[in-house]
Amino acid sequence: MSAIINDIEIIKAKTTKINEVDFDNLTFGKVFSDHMLECDFKNGSWQAPKIVPYQGITLDPSAKIFHYGQSVFEGMKAYKDANEDVWLFRPLENFKRLNISSKRLAIPELPESYFMEGLKALLEVDKNWIPTKEGSSLYIRPFVFASGKGFHASPADEYKFIICTAPSGAYFSGKVKVLIEETYSRSANGGVGFAKAGGNYAGQFYPTQLAVEKGYQQVIWTDDTNHEYIEEAGAMNIFVRINNTLVTGPTSDRILDGITRKSIIELAKAEGIPVEVRKISVKEVVEAAKNGSLKEMFGAGTAAVISPISGFGYKDADYDLPEIADSYGSKLKKIITDIQTNKSEDPFGWRFKVE
Amino acid sequence: MSAIINDIEIIKAKTTKINEVDFDNLTFGKVFSDHMLECDFKNGSWQAPKIVPYQGITLDPSAKIFHYGQSVFEGMKAYKDANEDVWLFRPLENFKRLNISSKRLAIPELPESYFMEGLKALLEVDKNWIPTKEGSSLYIRPFVFASGKGFHASPADEYKFIICTAPSGAYFSGKVKVLIEETYSRSANGGVGFAKAGGNYAGQFYPTQLAVEKGYQQVIWTDDTNHEYIEEAGAMNIFVRINNTLVTGPTSDRILDGITRKSIIELAKAEGIPVEVRKISVKEVVEAAKNGSLKEMFGAGTAAVISPISGFGYKDADYDLPEIADSYGSKLKKIITDIQTNKSEDPFGWRFKVE
ipTM: 0.97
Q: H-helix or E-strand containing A122?
A: helix A112-125
Could you report how far apart the first and last alpha carbons of chain B are, in Å? 22
> Which amino acid is residue B178, in one-letter code?
V
Contact B180, B311 (CB under 8 A): no
Residues 6+ apart with CB under 8 A from A179: A211, A214, A216, A218, A219, A220, A312, A313, A314
**pLDDT tens across B9-53, in order?**
999 999 999 999 999 999 999 999 999 999 999 999 999 999 999
- Rounded Cα gap, residues B113 and B124, in angstroms: 16
Chain A neighbors of B54, CB-CB under 8 A:
61
Q: Which amino acid is at A261?
A: R
pLDDT(B1) > 60: no
Q: By CA distance, what is A183's nearest residue in B? A: B190
Closest residue in B to A56 (Cα) is B60
Mean pLDDT (chain A) is 96
The Cα-based distances of A305 to A75, A114, B267 in angstroms read: 11, 27, 57
Interchain contact, A204 vs B153, CB within 8 Å:
yes
CB distance A188–B190 less than 8 Å?
no
pLDDT 10s digits, A6-51: 789 999 999 999 999 999 999 999 999 999 999 999 999 999 999 9
Nearest to B199 by CA among A231, A69, A308: A69
For chain B, give the percent of residues with pLDDT over 70: 99
User: Does residue B311 carry a pLDDT above 90?
Assistant: yes
CB-based contact B163:B118 (threshold 8 Å): yes
CB contact under 8 A, B189 and A234: no
pLDDT of B262 reads 97
Give A215's DSSP letter.
T
State how far the Cα of B103 lies from the Cα of B237, in Å rounded to an integer: 22
Interval B49-77: pLDDT, tens? 999 999 999 999 999 999 999 999 999 99
| Beta carbons of B224 and A145 less than 8 Å apart | no
Give the Cα separation of A332 and A270 in Å (integer): 11
Compute, in degrees rounded to 10, the torsion defined by CA atoms B288, B291, B296, B297: 30
Using an 8 Å Cβ cutoff, are A198 and B68 in contact? yes
On the question of pLDDT at A325 being above 70, the answer is yes
Give the span between the Cα atoms of B162 and A67, in whole angstroms.
Answer: 11
Query: pLDDT for A116-150, tens place per residue?
Result: 999 999 999 999 999 999 999 999 999 999 999 99
Which residues in chain B are closer than 8 Å to A191, comparing Cβ atoms? 184-188, 203, 224
> Would you call A279 helix, strand, or coil by DSSP?
coil
CB-closest option in A145, A171, A204 to B66 = A145
Mark yes or no for CB contact B61/A65 under 8 Å: no
Domains along chain A with CATH numbers = 2-168 (3.30.470.10), 176-340 (3.20.10.10)
User: Residue A56's CB: how many other CB atoms inside 10 A?
Assistant: 12
What does the pLDDT read at residue B234?
A: 83
The pLDDT of residue A283: 98
At residue B271, what is the residue type? E
Q: Are A353 and A85 in contact (CB under 8 A)?
A: yes
Return all residues near A44 (Cβ < 8 A) that are at least 6 apart.
Answer: none
